[in-house]
């Protein structure tokens, strides 16, 4: 089953435009930052759900918006750049 786009939140940082996209299928939710329709970095926030829990109910939870904010902070705090700055 292909992942379905549930929500897209746009924001800008350092004069660059980003989209945080929330995708889901019957047992997984992925929250990913995109720039120019490509993943902005290697970070993903993923939720694995038991099939006994309706995913539509999970998507309505406040924690989804909290994870979107974390995804934005991944960009603004340059977490990927710090992670990959191996010396």
| Whole-number pLDDT of residue 1 | 67
Half-sphere exposure at residue 43, Cβ-oriented, CA atoms within 13 angstroms: 20
How remote is the C-alpha of 39 from its chain's centroid? 10
Q: Please report, in tens digits, the pLDDT of each residue of the chain (87 residues total).
A: 689 999 999 999 999 999 999 999 989 999 999 999 999 999 999 999 988 888 888 999 999 999 999 999 999 999 999 999 986
Phi, psi of 81 (to 5 degrees): -60, -40
SS3 23: strand
| Whole-number pLDDT of residue 15 | 96
| Whole-number pLDDT of residue 2 | 87
């Amino acid at each position: 089953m292909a992942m379905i786009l549930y929500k897209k939140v746009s924001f800008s940082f350092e004069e660059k435009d980003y989209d945080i996209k929330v995708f889901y299928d019957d047992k997984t939710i992925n929250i990913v930052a995109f720039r120019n329709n490509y993943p902005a970095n290697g970070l993903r926030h993923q939720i694995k759900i038991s099939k006994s829990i309706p995913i539509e109910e999970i998507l309505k939870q406040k924690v989804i918006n909290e994870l979107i904010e974390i995804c934005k902070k991944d960009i603004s705090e340059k977490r990927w750049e710090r992670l990959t700055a191996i010396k």
